[in-house]
Amino acid sequence: MAILGDERKSARVALWSSRAAARLRARGDQIVVLLVLIAIWQTLSMTLGAYWVGSPWGVLTRFTAGILDGELLRNASYTAAEAALGFLLGALPAAALPFALRRLPIATAILDPFMVGGYGAPKLALAPLFILWFGIGIESKIALVAVTVFFIVYFSALAGVRALDARLVRMAQVVGASERDVARHIVFPGAVPYIFTGLRIAMPYSIGGAVIAELISANRGLGYLVQLGAMNFDTTGIFVALVATTLIVFLGNWSVNAAERRLLRWRPPADLTVETGT
């Protein structure tokens, strides 16, 4: 028995170490790929000229300089603020509406084709209209983001309200819960995971919307920096702004995930979602 146990143990150790070895090798490959990409970039920059593609070092130094003198952070926070405020302005009513209409299924049914239409319609095409209405400032960007986010979160929240577990509602009724109690303790917490899915999907659209509006017309923000770089044939400046924008997207993703982890601690593990990206 002891010999078999040892064999099993060493087989397990071998398997674990081969898996760990495979993981290590993959990590190594990934680092190699990163270095290769940077090397290609550097080569292109030397052959075609930094004018066309910028250079890795140039972008790095300009990025650091931008942070140190505050200019990059200022513009980044401007774009982030547009995205965040628009996100809240769109997501809060969108999440609240299915709850408010929960007892009026007719209202939801009447609204449905309009909501589907709003969801399918190209909201970003409204960018020039909002700029016409609100001008070059932050308001037009916030409005665009809010409209885009609204329809996404509405359908997620609606799915959450609909996925009500009737047995939990019955249990609550038997122990004396009122309608408000049921809404507060059962409908809402049950819908939160669905709402978070919607928030996660809507988040990249919020930053994308802010950037698009800035590309069309702005005097501050990362999209503005991209346009500025383009107008001055300053490729390095464009790349710096692009890197900053991508970082903000990652930050946004991280925030939503962190909030979800905190609020949804009660969920049993194993929940996979596949997203398609912006």
Looking at the Cβ atoms of 4 and 103, the one nearer to other proteins is 103
Contact assessment for residue 136 and residue 218, using Cβ atoms and an 8 Å cutoff: yes
Q: Can residue 74 be called a binding residue for other proteins (CB under 8 A)? A: no
120 lines the binding site for other proteins (CB under 8 A): yes
The verdict on 100 binding other proteins (CB under 8 A) reads: no
Is residue 262 a contact residue for other proteins (CB under 8 A)?
A: no
Q: Which uninterrupted H or E stretch holds 9?
A: helix 2-47
How many other C-beta atoms are found inside a 10 Å radius of the C-beta of residue 113? 9
In this structure, what is the dihedral angle of CA atoms 80, 81, 85, 90, given to the nearest 10 degrees?
Answer: -30
Written as six digits, the tokens of 35 are 């270095």
185 lines the binding site for other proteins (CB under 8 A): yes
- Separation CA 80–CA 4 (nearest Å): 60
Contact stretch for other proteins (CB under 8 A) within 38-46, 84-92, 122-130, 149-157: 122-130
Residues of span 196-255 touching other proteins by CB under 8 A: 204, 207-208, 211-212, 215-216, 222-223, 226-227, 229-230, 233, 235, 238-239, 241-242, 245-246, 249-250, 253
Q: Nearest-CA neighbor of 79 among 180, 253, 226, 271?
A: 226
Contacts to other proteins from residues 129-148, by CB under 8 A: 129, 131-133
Can you tell me which of 49, 70, 128, 135 binds other proteins, judged by CB under 8 A?
128
162 lies in the binding site for other proteins (CB under 8 A): yes
Residue owning tokens 């990362």: 222
Tokens 């890795």 found at: 56
For residue 229, the minimal CB distance to other proteins (Å) is 7
